[in-house]
């Protein structure tokens, strides 16, 4: 039964978005309901916490990929490209300013 509950939690994003404290509380409740020994309960909670962290990491990776794809689909300019263009503008502005200076009288 514990495996079924664990698999059910892990198949959704529920475990990925739960806080560490909530996962630990849930694990302890499930361990108590299943009448696990103290060592088994601790091992179960530790395993649940590890799986929660893995699920959270995978969830963040997937969300990041979806967001990146959405942004790329919008054809937005990246800040590195803007910085590069600003550097070129600054360089060209300096060149123009040098060309516009009157010749020095000497």
Q: 9 in a domain, yes or no?
A: yes
Residues 6 or more apart in contact with residue 80 via CB below 8 angstroms: none
Number of domains in the chain: 1
Residue 70 lies in a domain: yes
Answer yes or no: is 87 within a domain.
no
Q: Judge whether 60 and 20 are in contact, CB under 8 Å.
A: no
Is 11 part of a structural domain of the chain?
A: yes
pLDDT above 60: residue 2: no
Instruction: Report d(CA 84, CA 103) in Å as an integer.
Output: 31
Domain span at residue 20 reads 2-75
Q: Is residue 21 part of a domain?
A: yes
Would you say residue 27 lies in a domain? Answer: yes
Residue of 77 and 19 predicted with greater confidence:
77
Residue given tokens 């103290």 in the structure block: 38
pLDDT at 80: 95
Average pLDDT of 67-73? 84
44 within 8 A of 30, measured Cβ to Cβ: yes
Q: Percentage of the chain surpassing pLDDT 70?
A: 82
Give CA separation, 91 vs 80, 83, 100, in Å. Answer: 17, 12, 14
pLDDT score of 94: 96
């Amino acid at each position: 039964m514990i495996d079924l509950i664990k698999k059910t939690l892990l198949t959704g994003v529920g475990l990925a978005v739960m806080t560490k404290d909530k996962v630990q509380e849930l694990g302890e409740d499930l361990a108590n309901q299943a009448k696990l020994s103290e060592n088994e309960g601790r091992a179960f909670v530790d395993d649940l916490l590890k799986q929660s962290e893995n699920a959270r990491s995978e969830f963040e990776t997937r969300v990041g990929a979806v967001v990146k794809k959405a942004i790329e689909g919008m054809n937005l300019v990246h800040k590195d490209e803007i910085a590069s263009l600003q550097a070129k503008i600054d360089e060209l502005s300096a060149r123009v300013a040098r060309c516009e200076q009157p010749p020095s009288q000497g």
